[in-house]
Amino acid sequence: MDDRTGGGDTQPPQLVTFDAILPPAMALRAEETGIKRVNTDLMTRFALSVLAGAFIAFGAIFATTVMAGNVEVASMDGAWTGYARLPYGVVRLLGGLVFSLGLILVVIGGAELFTGNNLIVMAWASRKVRTRDLLENWAVAFAGNFVGAFMTAVLAFYSTQYTFGGGAVGLTALATAHAKTSLAFIPALALGILCNALVCLGVWMCYGARSSVDRILTIVPPVAAFVAAGFEHSIANIYFISIGLFIKSGAPNSFWTAIGKTTADFPNLNWSNFLIGNLLPVTIGNIIGGSIMVAAVYWFVYLRKKLP
């Protein structure tokens, strides 16, 4: 019998919806993703982590180039201040918008970013991921991210891209790196907390997306916000500070003449201030911001009642 006449054992048509996925379902997706991430084999995780570090570095290169020519560096009683030819906020906003390329590549292209992986805490809190596996994932991701971002800085230095714009790109890179290595421990920690709260909120909202376009539109605002506000991202800083250090130690005299500066104008830019003064507190802050302010809160709201 023809089903269209009402006869036969037919199923009702399925309703197709394009509504966004709501937060309770987003929490389940975040939990499932965390489980998958810790169960990925070690070499695959490391390779994807190297990619993520390089992707974030690409965003940093983009931001540095876009902001070049707008920053002048001046010293006032040892305090370094950036002056913008365009309004300061506009320059920062432009840099933030283009820097979002990094996280877009991570999310759409598929990669393992240490800061975003702080959301694995949701699966850990549900007792579906062991503490050892969580910490191992973070360690592998951070190591791979470091390699990817650092090696991209090496490649960028040898490309001499920092000399473009009459040295404006390199001057912006130096000013950025020097400002980051001039931060005291507590401000760096606090700026790291604020940064990864926004980054993880961007990743969290992606769990409610249904398409790549949705994810891209979701990522841009929180990433642009943290860059514009001057918050500190550990993986981005591996590129930002490394390229500054390479320029300071290896740029030719012609570059310094072009920008009208010397290495003495960047006294705080050194390896100790990079690794201990900036990267350490910023990484701790990133963990607090992502794991507690985002992952733990959303786990408490949507997943805690599932515990036996």
pLDDT score, position 85 = 73
Residue ranges of E strands in the chain: 71-76, 79-84
pLDDT of residue 166: 92
Structure-token pair, residue 287 = 């963990």
Question: CA 155, CA 149: separation in Å to the nearest integer?
Answer: 10
- What's residue 12's pLDDT? 55
Asked if pLDDT for residue 9 goes beyond 70, the answer is: no
Q: What pLDDT is recorded for position 259?
A: 94
Residue 129 is classified by DSSP as S
- pLDDT at res. 102: 97
48 vs 87, more confident: 48
Amino acid residing at 305: K
Here the tokens at position 119 are 């959301």
Q: What is the mean pLDDT of the segment spanning 122-145? A: 97
CA geometry: angle at 226 spanning 225 and 228, to 5°? 65
Would you place residue 77 in the very low, low, confident or very high pLDDT band (cuts 50, 70, 90)? very low
69: left (phi over 0), alpha (psi -120 to 50) or beta: left
Maximum pairwise Cα distance, the chain: 91
Q: Which two tokens stand for residue 47?
A: 């390779």
Q: What is the pLDDT of residue 10?
A: 54
Q: pLDDT tier at 21 (50, 70, 90 boundaries)?
A: confident
Evaluate whether 74 touches 125 at the Cβ level (below 8 Å).
no
Cα(40)–Cα(37) distance, integer angstroms: 5
The predicted pLDDT at position 216 comes to: 95
Predicted pLDDT at 181: 98
Burial of 72 from C-beta contacts in 10 A (0-12 / 13-18 / 19+): middle
Q: Where are the beta strands (DSSP E) in 85-224?
A: none
DSSP state of 161: G
* Domains of the chain and any CATH numbers: 20-303 (1.20.1080.10)
pLDDT 10s digits, 238-295: 999 999 999 999 999 999 999 999 999 999 999 999 999 999 999 999 999 999 999 9
Answer yes or no: is pLDDT of 2 > 60.
no
pLDDT number for residue 88: 87
Contact indicator for 181, 278 with CB cutoff of 8 Å = yes
Give the pLDDT confidence of 190-214 residue by residue, as tens digits. Answer: 999 999 999 999 999 999 998 999 9
User: pLDDT exceeding 70 applies to what percent of the chain?
Assistant: 88
Which residue bears the tokens 């993880």?
200
CA pair distance 76, 247, nearest whole angstrom: 23
Residues 6+ positions from 161 with CB-CB distance below 8 Å: 61, 65, 169
* Residue 21 DSSP class: P
Rounded CA gap, 219 and 203, in Å?
A: 7
Say yes or no to pLDDT of 83 above 80.
Answer: no
Tell me if the pTM is above 0.95. Answer: no
Write out the E strands in 162-240: none
Distance of CA 168 to the CA centre of its chain: 24
As a whole number, the mean pLDDT across the chain is 90
73 has a pLDDT exceeding 50 = no
Task: Give which of 228, 264, 218, 48 is closest to 148, Cα–Cα.
Answer: 48
Helices and strands (DSSP H and E) totals, the chain: 14, 2
- Angle 22-204-129 from CA coordinates, rounded to 5°: 105
Residue 14: pLDDT above 60?
no
Q: In this model, does residue 80 exceed pLDDT 70?
A: no
Structure tokens at 128: 């579906």
Higher-confidence residue: 266 or 21?
266
| 103-112 per-position pLDDT tens digit | 999 999 999 9
Give residue 13's pLDDT: 56
Give me the pLDDT at residue 3, please: 46
